[in-house]
Amino acid sequence: MFKSRFPYFSVNADDKNKNTRVYLDSAATTQKLDSVLLAMDNYHQEYNASVHRGAYQSAQLATKAYEQARVKIQQLISAKKADEVIFTSGATESINMIANGLSINDLSGTTILVMASEHHANLLPWQAFAKRHKLNMDVIELSSDGIFSERELSRLYEQLSDDIALIAIAHVSNALGNIYPLEDIIEKAAKHNIVSVVDGTQALAHISVDVQKLNCDFYVFSGHKMYGPCGIGVLYGKYEALTALAPSKLGGEMVVDVDFSAVSFQMPPLKFEGGTPNIAGAIGLGEAAEFVKNNIEEIKRHEEKLHQYLIRQLSQFDSLIMVGNSAALPTKNNINNHDFSEHLSIGTLSFTVKNQQLNDLALYLSQAGVAVRVGHHCAMPLMKRLKLQGTLRVSLACYSDLKDIDYLIEHISHFLRLDESQARLHALTETKSVDENKQHFLLASKVQQSRGWDNVYRQLLLASKSLRILPQELRTSLTSVSGCETDLWLAMADDRFAAYSQSKVVRGILALLIERADHNISCGIHDFDYLQYLEFLGLSHYFSEGRRDGIANAIKTIDVIMKTNANANANAKTNED
Ligand code: PMP
């Protein structure tokens, strides 16, 4: 809908082969709005100068634009005054500034309460704070599938007491998309004098935010998740909370008077903005804030519609398991038995797929030009509670459209069908392939002859089935190979190489390496460049960043084993002689 406002999507627009840019990772970072880029360029080219100091014209223009950006952000989040908006480098810095500047004397309880889905950025500073001040940590629980409904809300209300000092909670979960009912929670928390710190990083681009209505003490977010630039973010605090908060970034710009042994600070916001700020970033963020403010109702309508469509489309795959509030929305496979009716999720959707390595799926999608994210999404404690290693996350934004979703679904469907058809083919040809494997480099030659990612992928899946699997009991720390995003083991078992990884793609690559290593052993070849070999097979550019080191380390392990064996054989021979 707003796609034309985002230059990222028009790069190579007329080149069909390079043009697939289905960007579904907006929870990681959003694409940048044209007016954001323009405003930043204008600042750099037309009136580049530092703020709050110079009397010359550029400096005055820069200061004016910087302070206007602050006002635009005040308006976006409905803060009482612009002085309650502090520019930081991002949400992470904002939360650390609160945790480092809060006085324990301003807190009444002895426990810090965090939401189970919290991003590490709104967990680790509080963990350190609790350790420093000898406080306890407690968790707001979700259901076993990551849902927060009336049941979990009632449980949370029971947790709120005078014993709680501070509640750290996201407005929207980055890992699940859940929107939390903060207005009610904070109202109850305030009755117990609980300080509230809200991480709004995933909220601003998708829902309306009114900090006065929320009545939170602090609210933080990052510019790059709301169509603005990286390296700029906001710490909002009620003015009295900011007055009580100690500045943790000390230096120029933030003082009224300095002596060698004393200092008096400026009032907020300047007392928190030590050093030369990210002026272009603030100006860019101001533009993004204005865009979101002017369009939020339309954005919400558009994203809700897409979100519903995405849920419906994904629910056609029986092996796909959604987590988070999206999983509780009614679909054909799922009778909604959760006790809320409102739409309580943004268009960020997390899921796993039975019997599939999510990294394989993400790699497959990436080859088709689809950007999605796989992993724990910086919410490791959540994944442990959900008993998952990670999820595949699809995240929408205002520029997403039905075509993006259709393209995603088509490729997920293709991936799953490919897998099924390989399994059938393998069952049919099992006997034959065992015989065929007696020929040298059968797997390698099939990969090398394949053209296009689909075919190479198909051959890797087939090769993965020929891998000699390292038995479970031998998968220990001694045989583990580090550096791969999925666990990987490689060793000799019964005088033959064997290996294992959950990823089928990695298993395929290991099968190719072992096929070659087996041959090298039988021919007495000890020096062989396996990495170059994979390159020669045309595979190296299919290694994802997260696997490159793992594959290189697997090769080192093969090398070490080969050389150790060669030495042992040589010694045995000398002894015989
Ligand atoms: N909180 C949430 C919910 C996030 O999604 C992120 C970014 N993934 C952060 C905090 C940290 O943001 P930044 O890296 O911009 O400081």
| DSSP code per residue over 516-562 | HHHHHHHHT-----HHHHHHHTT-GGGS-HHHHHHHHHHHHHHHHHH
In whole angstroms, what is the distance from residue 311 CA to residue 301 CA?
16
* Secondary element (H or E) of residue 123: none
**pLDDT for residue 89:** 98
Q: Which two tokens stand for residue 220?
A: 């933080």
The string of pLDDT tens digits covering residues 316-332 is 999 999 999 999 876 54
What pLDDT, on the 0 to 100 scale, is given for residue 4? Answer: 95
In the chain, list all ranges with CATH 3.90.1010.10: 433-576
> Where along the chain do the CATH 3.90.1150.10 domains lie?
3-31+296-411
Extract the tokens encoding 399. 């520029």
Is the CB of residue 91 below 6 angstroms from any atom belonging to ligand 1? Answer: yes
Which DSSP letter does residue 223 get?
G
Buried b (16+ CB within 10 A) or exposed e, 542-557: bbbebbeebbbbbbeb
State CA 291 to chain mean position distance: 24
What pLDDT was estimated at residue 343?
A: 60
Residue 269, preceding peptide bond in cis (omega within 30° of 0): yes
Whether the pTM exceeds 0.85: the reply is: no
pLDDT value at position 345? 96
CATH superfamily of 3-31+296-411: Aspartate Aminotransferase, domain 1 (3.90.1150.10)
Distance CA 459, CA 509 (A): 10
Per CATH, the number for 34-108+121-135+195-292 is 3.40.640.10
Q: How far apart are CA 4 and CA 1, in angstroms?
A: 8
Q: How far is the CA of 199 from the centre of ligand 1 (A)?
A: 8
The predicted structure's pLDDT at residue 528: 80
Tokens 């998740």 belong to 225
So what's the pLDDT on residue 450?
82
Q: Which residues lie across from 166 on neighbouring strands? A: 112, 195
Output the CA 119–ligand 1 centroid distance in Å: 7
Among 216, 230, 378, 484, which one carries the catalytic annotation? 378
Domain range 433-576, CATH class: alpha beta
- Residue pair 171/203 in contact by the 8 Å Cβ criterion: yes
> Which residue bears the tokens 């060698």?
260
Mutation test residue for ligand 1: of 30, 92, 285, the one with most atoms within 8 Å of CB: 92
User: How confident is the model at residue 511, as a pLDDT?
Assistant: 93
- Amino acid 529: pLDDT: 83
- Give the mutation target among 225, 278, 377, 380 for probing the ligand 1 site: most ligand atoms within 8 A of CB: 225
Residue with tokens 């007392």: 271
Atom of ligand 1 nearest to the CA of 222: 15
Residues of CATH 3.40.640.10 domain(s) within the chain? 34-108+121-135+195-292
**Predicted pLDDT at 268:** 96
Tokens of 210: 């009114």
Residues of the chain with pLDDT under 50: 332-336, 339-341, 428-438
Q: 422 is written with which tokens?
A: 């390989």
Cα–Cα distance measured from residue 274 to residue 66, given in angstroms and rounded to the nearest whole number: 15
User: Around Cβ 187, how many Cβ atoms within 10 Å?
Assistant: 11
DSSP 30: P
Mutate which of 201, 218, 227, 285 for ligand 1? The one with the most ligand atoms within 8 Å of its CB, which is 201
Q: Is any atom of ligand 1 closer than 6 Å to the C-beta of 303?
A: no
Annotated catalytic residue 378: yes
Residue nearest atom 7 of ligand 1, based on CA coordinates: 28
Q: Where are the beta strands (DSSP E) in 348-401?
A: 348-353, 370-371, 373-375, 391-395
- Predicted local distance difference test score (pLDDT) of residue 424: 55
Measured CA to CA, the distance from residue 377 to residue 145 in angstroms comes to 16
